[in-house]
Amino acid sequence: MKAFKLSALTLAAAVAVSAAVAGSTAAQAAEKVRLATEGAFPPFNTIDSAGKPQGFDVDIGLALCAEMKVECEVVTQDWDGIIPGLLAKKYDAIIASMSITPERQQAVAFTNPYYSNKLQFVAPKGKDFTLTKDGLKGKTIGAQRSTISASWMEEHMPGIEVKLYGTQEEAFLDLASGRLDLVINDVYVTYGWLNSDAGKGFEFKGSPVYDDDKIGIALRKDDTALRDKMNAALEAIRKNGTYDKLNAKYFPFSIY
């Protein structure tokens, strides 16, 4: 789900921090792996009433740690600071529905994908829209800041008013309150919202506008041993049925 691109300033800072920690192999030898997630992107990552991270991302991360036979700690980090936090060694890996993009690969390394994403519009039931640049003139579209959704709108819908939000939950709240005409977002997160009480009066519009978004776990570039172990563990949970059980916990269809 998350962005085609970082801001130039954020990317430059991330690369600078990456260079400063080059050569470190602390995560590779650590007995505890610290995983960071956002905590504001249900059903992939959220925080329960006890303040504990939950969701598909978290479950996959814990399953990988179990397969690797290492202790695992899951922490939360706001999205805008999640890559800088990794490079500053606040944690060892990011499992937060992060898209594998060439720009991000300048700053971090990724595991093999653990699911694939699509983007689609959502709006109130009974309202029809022509989902073209001309058809959306005068409409206000919501998207989460620094995500593929926001980048897609910038690239494909120049001139259309886009309101950006710090979290996807905030965008859905404004859609539900009538302050937005449509929202563009990851289909699986939207699917979860549409099946909640808040999303009952809304529906997908049109077909997915982008359907080749690969989601991976981000690590520091020098942590090659940890990346290799995670890739092996991901392959193992795919083969032994653990992945399918976790998938079925959240979705009645495969997202792999």
Domain ranges of the chain: 8-116+214-250, 118-212
How long is the chain? Answer: 256
Closest CA relative to residue 144, chosen from 113, 177, 174: 174
Angstrom distance (rounded) from CA 239 to CA 209: 31
> Tens of pLDDT along 135-192?
999 999 999 998 889 999 999 999 999 999 999 999 999 999 999 999 999 999 999 9
Q: What are phi and psi of 106, to 5 degrees?
A: -70, -25
Give the end-to-end CA distance of the chain in Å, rounded to a whole number: 14
pLDDT value at 220 more than 60: yes
Smallest Cα–Cα separation from 184: which of 214, 154, 217, 222? 154
3-state secondary structure of 77: coil
Note whether 8-116+214-250 and 118-212 share their fold. yes
- Asked whether residue 224 carries a pLDDT value surpassing 60, the answer given is yes
Could you name the CATH architecture of 8-116+214-250? Answer: 3-Layer(aba) Sandwich (3.40)
pLDDT of residue 146: 86
CA distance 130 to 137: 10
- The answer to whether 194 and 203 are in contact (CB under 8 A) is yes
Task: List, for residues 140-150, the tens digit of each pLDDT value.
Answer: 999 999 888 99
The answer on pLDDT for 29 being more than 70 is no
pLDDT reading at 6 higher than 60? no
Average pLDDT over residues 42-67: 97
Q: 217 falls in which pLDDT band (50, 70, 90)?
A: very high
Tens digit of each residue's pLDDT (9 = 90 or more) over 106-129: 999 999 999 999 999 999 999 999
CATH number of 118-212: 3.40.190.10
Q: Token pair 């079925």 is at which residue?
A: 248
